[in-house]
Amino acid sequence: MTPIRVLVVDDSVVIRRLVTDLLQDDPDIEVVGTAVNGRAALGKVDLLEPDLVTMDIEMPEMNGIEAVRALRASGSKVPIIMFSTLTEQGAVATLDALAAGASDYVAKPANVGSVSRSMDQVREALIPRIKSLVARASVPIARSASAPAAARVAAPVARPTLATRSHAEDYRLLVVGASTGGPEALNTLFTALPLLPVPVAVVQHMPPVFTRQFAARLDRHSAWTVTEAEHGQLLTPGTVAIAPGDHHLEIVASSRGFVAKLHQGPQENYCRPAVDVLFRSAVAAVGPAVLAVVLTGMGSDGERGADLIRQRGGSVIAQDQATSVVWGMPGAVANAGLAELVLPLTGVAPELVRRLSTLGRAVPSAHMAREGAR
What confidence tens digit (pLDDT) does each residue in 227-247 have?
999 999 999 999 999 999 999
Which fold does the domain 4-138 belong to in CATH? Rossmann fold (3.40.50)
- The whole-number pLDDT of residue 157 equals 44
Confidence of residue 85 (pLDDT cuts 50, 70, 90): confident
- Cα angle vertex 129, ends 126, 130, to 5°? 85
pLDDT beyond 50 at 149:
no
Confidence of residue 107 (pLDDT cuts 50, 70, 90): confident
> Cα–Cα distance between 104 and 98 in angstroms, integer?
7
- Cα angle vertex 340, ends 334, 341, to 5°? 75
Side chain identity, residue 74: S
pLDDT beyond 70 at 151:
no
* CATH for the 152-373 domain, from 3.40.50.300, 3.40.50.180, 3.10.590.10, 3.40.47.10: 3.40.50.180
The pTM (predicted TM-score) of the whole model is 0.87
Confidence of residue 159 (pLDDT cuts 50, 70, 90): very low
Helix axis angle for 64-73 and 88-100, nearest 10°, is 10
Predicted confidence (pLDDT) per residue in 269-318, tens digit: 999 999 999 999 999 999 999 999 999 999 999 999 999 999 999 999 99
Strands 4-9 and 315-319: unpaired
Same fold, 4-138 and 152-373: yes
Percentage of residues of the chain with pLDDT beyond 70: 85
Confidence of residue 168 (pLDDT cuts 50, 70, 90): very low
Asked if residue 249 lies in contact with residue 229, where contact means CB atoms within 8 angstroms, the answer is yes
Sign of CA dihedral 348, 205, 309, 260: negative
The structural domains of the chain, with segments of one domain joined by +, span: 4-138, 152-373
E-strand spans in the chain?
4-9, 29-35, 52-56, 80-84, 104-107, 173-178, 200-204, 225-228, 234-235, 239-242, 248-254, 257-263, 290-294, 315-319, 341-343
pLDDT beyond 70 at 265:
yes
Q: Which residues pair with 5 in a beta bridge?
A: 30
Of the candidates 299, 240, 310, which has an alpha carbon nearest to the alpha carbon of residue 275? 299
> Cα–Cα distance between 283 and 307 in angstroms, integer?
11
> Cα–Cα distance between 251 and 40 in angstroms, integer?
48
Of the candidates 54, 52, 97, which has an alpha carbon nearest to the alpha carbon of residue 78? 52
Annotate 172-189 with b (16+ C-beta within 10 A) or e (fewer).
bbbbbbbbbbbbbbbbbb
Contacts of 237 (CB under 8 A, 6+ apart): 195, 196, 197, 198, 199, 361, 363, 364, 367
Residue 271 CA to its chain's centroid (Å): 13
User: Catalytic amino acids?
Assistant: 179, 205, 301
> Cα–Cα distance between 189 and 345 in angstroms, integer?
7
Strands 80-84 and 104-107: parallel
